[in-house]
Amino acid sequence: MKADLTPFLPLSPPALYILLALAGEDRHGYGIMQEVARQSGGQFKLGPGTLYDNLQKLVQKKMVAEAPHPSADDDPRRRYYRLTPFGRDVLRADIARLETVVREARGALGRVPSPRRA
C-alpha cells in the first residue's frame, strides 16, 4: 500500500531544489548549493542559512539522511547527505503535481488570446 504523501505536498522551492540536487548522487552542503545554482541556470541561489534550515526540516521528515564520507581523506567539516526512498517518493509526487500544473497552464494560456500590441 502506498503512503499518503499529500501532507508533504507541495514542496517549497528550496526543498524541491534540494531534493532534486540529491536525486542524482550524495552531496555535501556546498555541493548542493552549486548543483541548485546549476539546475536553475543561476536563477535560484541558496545561501548556507537557507540550505541548512531546509535540510534540518527534510532530515526531520526523513526525506534526507546523512551519508558516509566517500573517501577517508575528505575534509571532516564536510557532511554528506542523501535522498531517502521516502524523499524520492515525495519528490516524484511533487514532480507529477508540477506536470499537472504545467499541462493545465499550457491549456489555459493556449485558450487566452495574446495581448495585442498598442
Partner 1 sequence: MRTLYRFLVRLHPLDFRVEFGGEMLWIYDEAAATIGVFPLLTDALMSLGRQWLLRSDVWKFGIGVIVNATLLSVLFMGPGFRWGPPKKGSGTGSVQAGLGLAWALPDPPPHHYKLYLMVEKAPAWDRDPEK
Which positions lie near partner 1, rule CB under 8 A?
A: 28-30, 33, 45, 47-50, 52-53, 55-56, 75, 77-79
Q: What is the DSSP letter of 8?
A: G
Query: Least distance from C-beta 16 to partner 1, angstroms?
Result: 18
Cβ–Cβ < 8 Å for 29, 79 = yes
Between 28 and 94, whose beta carbon lies closer to partner 1?
A: 28
Query: Least distance from C-beta 85 to partner 1, angstroms?
Result: 23
Between 47 and 99, whose beta carbon lies closer to partner 1?
A: 47
Asked whether the bond before 14 is cis by omega within 30 degrees of 0, the reply is no
Between 11 and 28, whose beta carbon lies closer to partner 1?
A: 28
Query: Least distance from C-beta 98 to partner 1, angstroms?
Result: 25
DSSP output for 28-92 = EHHHHHHHHHHHTTTSS---HHHHHHHHHHHHHTTSEEEE--SSTTS-TT--EEEE-HHHHHHHH
Query: Which single residue is written with the C-alpha cell 497552464?
Result: 105
Query: Least distance from C-beta 111 to partner 1, angstroms?
Result: 40
